Amino acid sequence: MMKLLAVPGDLTSSEIVDTDNDGGWSSYYLGSQAFRFAATGDPQARSNAWEVFAALERLRTLPGRNGFFARTFERAGFKFSDPDRWRDVPGGDWEWKGHTSCDEFLFRYWLGRHLGYIR
């Protein structure tokens, strides 16, 4: 997710926009915090990593399909782009984007290789 300013310099014109690689970039950030924790022992790095992990876990659980990750997720009704690619979560307040590509799966593989640093 990123924020755009419709009017340069005017923070009140901020718009939140979903991106198709939220999970990928978040995986890299989590990895950086895992390495940071391994190198420094900084408890804030460990906390950051687990917070991102919780969001990535939501990408795994929202679709309700074992082994399939959502590309991104948003609160219900937010659909900013590609409205035909969003899927409802039954009984929930969330929607997930369903055209996950192979690069999204590779992000998860990369992430899985580094999670041991934050135990």
Alpha helix segments (H runs only) across 1-119: 22-40, 43-61, 102-112
With beta carbons less than 8 A apart as the criterion, state whether 94 and 70 touch. Answer: no
pLDDT, tens digit, for every residue of 46-85? Answer: 999 999 989 888 888 888 888 788 888 888 877 667 778 8
- As beta bridge partners, residue 96 has 73, 87
The mean of the pLDDT values for the chain is 81
**3-class SS of residue 5:** strand
Output the pTM of the full model: 0.72
Per-domain boundaries in the chain: 22-118
